[in-house]
Amino acid sequence: MKTILILFITTLFFISCSKKEEIKTSDSQKNDSASQINKEVKSNTTDNAKPNESLSEGIKDIVYETDNLPKSVKYEGKIVAGAKWEDKNGKNVLIICETEEKSSGDNRSKELFGYQYLLEGENAKMLWKVNDFIKDCPVDVSLALITGSLTVTDINKDGIAENTFLYRMSCKGDVSPDDMKLIMHEGENKYAIRGEMIQVMNGEKYGGQMNTDPSFNKAPAGFFAYAREQWKKYETEKIGNQ
């Protein structure tokens, strides 16, 4: 009787252990399966995720500063903004400069300059120069780069950077809208939009004229869309409490 009882208990013990092992194995398989699914989801997410495409992709070492310029970089006025980068043309530097307002009797004058240079060591070759001005203005003068409007891009991804900036200008004795200009270059090719800002005063809008230069008709795809976007970004000025 004792022998039978011992055999019965032993059998129950082995059956119990076997079931625990089965449960343990099953749990392990579930964990392995869940782990594999997580890996596949993660892998698919990584494979399908596309990084945001930068408009300056392919252009190297873009910095919006003008420190340590070679002495061969010549300019007039005071540097108010600039950028450096490297593209297929080589090392580039762009600077925007403004002169101080000058008075002659009751008349006032001011100038704005833009330059792009190609750098090779300490040597600099001017790629283009832009000059705009207001001269002999008998009332208030305004001529200034619009802060933050200078950008370096490669919209058509050809490895040659475009650069774009906007500035405002006026000679006026009232509160009418300032003129505004957008200048865009790719290498020596120049594109422009000219017009006036939108002025919002007491709930009313004034100005807003925008004239696109015919040069955009032959511009690469995407150039005008980007230029117009930049124009719209900076064209509105609110006067007083709105």
SS (H, E, C) 139-202: CEEEEEECCCCCEEECCCCCCCCEEEEEEEEEEECCCCCCEEEEEEEECCEEEEEEEECEEEEC
pLDDT digits (tens, 9 = 90+) for 163-186: 999 999 999 999 999 999 999 999
pLDDT value at position 56? 79
pLDDT exceeds cutoff 90 at 54: no
Half-sphere exposure of 62 (CA within 13 A, CB side): 16
**pLDDT tens-digit profile of 58-96?**
799 999 999 999 999 999 999 999 999 999 999 999 999
The answer for residues whose C-beta is within 8 angstroms of residue 136's C-beta and 6 or more apart is 104, 107, 108, 109
Residue 45 has pLDDT above 50, yes or no: no
Section 220-228 average pLDDT: 98
The whole-angstrom separation of Cα 150 and Cα 147 is 8
pLDDT at 138 over 80: yes
Residue 32: predicted pLDDT: 42
Q: Among candidates 154, 145, 126, which has minimal Cα distance to 55?
A: 154
Residues 181-217 pLDDT 10s: 999 999 999 999 999 999 999 889 999 999 999 999 9
| Mean pLDDT value across residues 133-145 | 97
- Torsion (CA) 16, 17, 20, 21 in degrees, nearest 10: -150
List for the chain the helix, strand, coil content (%; round to 5). Answer: 25, 45, 30
93, 116 contact by CB (below 8 A) = yes
Transcribe 12-46 into DSSP letters: HHHHHHHHHHHHHHHHHHHHHHHHHHHHHHHHHHH
Q: pLDDT above 70 covers what percent of the chain?
A: 77
Per-residue pLDDT, 55: 80
pLDDT score of 115 more than 90: yes
Minimal CA–CA distance to 180: which of 136, 128, 236, 129? 236
| Mean pLDDT, rounded, for 141-152 | 97
Residue 108 confidence (pLDDT): 96
Q: Residue 65 contacts by C-beta under 8 Å, 6 or more apart in sequence?
A: 82, 83, 84
For residue 75, the 8-state DSSP code is: -
**Other Cβ atoms within 10 Å of 137 Cβ, number:** 20
Share above pLDDT 90 across residues of the chain, in percent, rounded to a whole number: 73
CB 152 within 8 A of CB 85: yes
What predicted TM-score, i.e. pTM, was given to this entire model? 0.77
Question: Which tops the pLDDT comparison, 91 or 57?
Answer: 91
